[in-house]
Structure 1
Amino acid sequence: MKEISITQIKICPRCGQAYYEAPALSRIDNQTPICPDCGTREALESMDVDQEEQEVILAIIHRQRRNL
């Protein structure tokens, strides 16, 4: 039997970008689903990681995902 996969595209309320991965939960209200990248950014912001370093970290994460 052929497996059917349905992907739902969602729009992140924080950055406005479309995403299809499992959402992260915003640390701001602990209720709003946001894209994984914004979830990572919020976590890094909570540790006072500056925006430039956040982008470097996200680039590494994206590169590793492509290699899986």
Structure 2
Amino acid sequence: MKDIIEERTCPICGQIYSERPAVSREDSITLICPDCGTRQALASLGVDNEEQEAIINIIHEKAF
């Protein structure tokens, strides 16, 4: 059986992604890209935007 890769566009940032989507913390319904999901989670912990981006960059470096 072949894996089907579905591309989606994140409604928050406009990024096209094919990874498993995150569910927005804002409405618990909207599917968003993993990066925006991470941003929302970090924001809920009080992490500022600059540090959020640094963390996301580290995740991208380690994932590939």
The TM tier, using the shorter chain, reads: over 0.9
| Secondary structure of the structure 1 residue equivalent to 2:29 | coil
Quote how far apart the aligned CAs of 1:11 are: 0.3
- Gaps spanning 5+ residues in structure 1: where? none
Paired with 2:2 and 2:27, the residues of 1 have a C-alpha distance of 34
Structure 2 counterparts to residues 7-46 of structure 1, below 5 A: 7-46=5-44
Q: TM-score, normalised by structure 1?
A: 0.89
> Runs in 1 of length 4+ with deviation above 4 angstroms?
none
Deviations 1:17-68 (Å, cap 9, x if unpaired)? Answer: 10000000000001101000000000001111111100100011001110xx
Q: Percent identity?
A: 55
- Gaps spanning 5+ residues in structure 2: where? none
Q: Highest CA radius of gyration, 1 or 2?
A: 1
RMSD: 0.8
